Amino acid sequence: MGVNVVLLAEYSKIYSELNETIEELLVGIPKKLILKAGTTFLAMQTMDYSSANWLEIANMWFRTENFSFKEELIRRINYQYAKEEVNELLMLSPITSLKLLQLGLSKGETGGSKKEKQIEIDLFKIYLLLNESFTIQHTTSGEYIELHYPENKIGMMLLSMSFSTNDLINYIYSREFYCQSVKSLFLFSFLKNESKLKPHVELFFKRYNISSMEEYYSRLFGFLKPIGRKIKDRKKGFVEYTIENDEDKEFIFKFSVQDYSEKVYSIPPQVLCSDIF
């Protein structure tokens, strides 16, 4: 039985003569644009199930003005990966897209901005660098497995690759929303009938400026129908929904990430087999 070898495109293999850093490339890229890019790429894989093949992504990514850069990129990839026994080379990864979102959330607004043409190129290289940081962790695990578990190499590698990220990316979002909604109804039914927890319920009502759980669900689900319609009607990727009413803005604002902390929201590092066994 053959093994289907799939790799992520990496910065150092494509641009081996360069030594750029994520910090350098981030300068001049607007925070909002990074957040939109990360959200779009994440939705493409977790909701739209779009292809992550590097050539399809490159054709989608670059505008006409960057045609020469794209052609050079294609030449480099074909040359650098010719020696690899690869069935498919991917550009996008859900974990990398989450890391890109982290960069956007943690980025402060800096003065100055790059031209859109350059932003495309630099954002592409940032994604490649994030891909590489993820594959390096897999390489470390692979080396440990090769040394300590050579007889179970394939099984251990499969475990290592999926163990640390399984709970982050393996979702069917429509089912997840339904399950979490039902769980929340059971939770608040329990809280309502537990006198010791009454202060917690009151604090919750105060935070959202509501008087009952019925009001909470009515207001929350009121946003979901129009947003769900926009998601259904969109072509792919990012969706933007504008809230006009100030009271609604204040309510929904409390659900969004505001004071982002890398420590609190950090994606766990790749788990090594040495950490498991």
User: What is residue 276's predicted lDDT score, i.e. its pLDDT?
Assistant: 36
Rounded to 5°, the CA angle 23-24-27 comes to 90
User: What is residue 58's predicted lDDT score, i.e. its pLDDT?
Assistant: 93
User: What is residue 121's predicted lDDT score, i.e. its pLDDT?
Assistant: 96
User: What is residue 265's predicted lDDT score, i.e. its pLDDT?
Assistant: 47
Residue 230, exposed/middle/buried by CB under 10 A (0-12, 13-18, 19+)? exposed
User: What is residue 262's predicted lDDT score, i.e. its pLDDT?
Assistant: 59
93 within 8 A of 134, measured Cβ to Cβ: yes
User: What is residue 192's predicted lDDT score, i.e. its pLDDT?
Assistant: 84
- For the stretch 98-108, pLDDT in tens is 899 889 888 87
User: Residue 51: what are its φ and ψ, rounded to 5°?
Assistant: -65, 140
- For the stretch 37-92, pLDDT in tens is 998 888 887 777 778 889 999 999 999 999 999 999 999 999 988 877 667 888 99
Tens place of pLDDT per residue across the chain (277 aa): 445 567 889 999 999 999 999 999 999 999 889 988 998 888 887 777 778 889 999 999 999 999 999 999 999 999 988 877 667 888 998 889 989 988 988 887 655 678 999 999 999 999 999 999 888 766 666 666 677 777 776 766 666 666 656 666 666 666 777 788 888 889 888 988 888 998 999 999 998 889 988 888 888 888 777 777 766 666 666 677 778 888 888 888 887 766 665 554 454 444 443 343 3
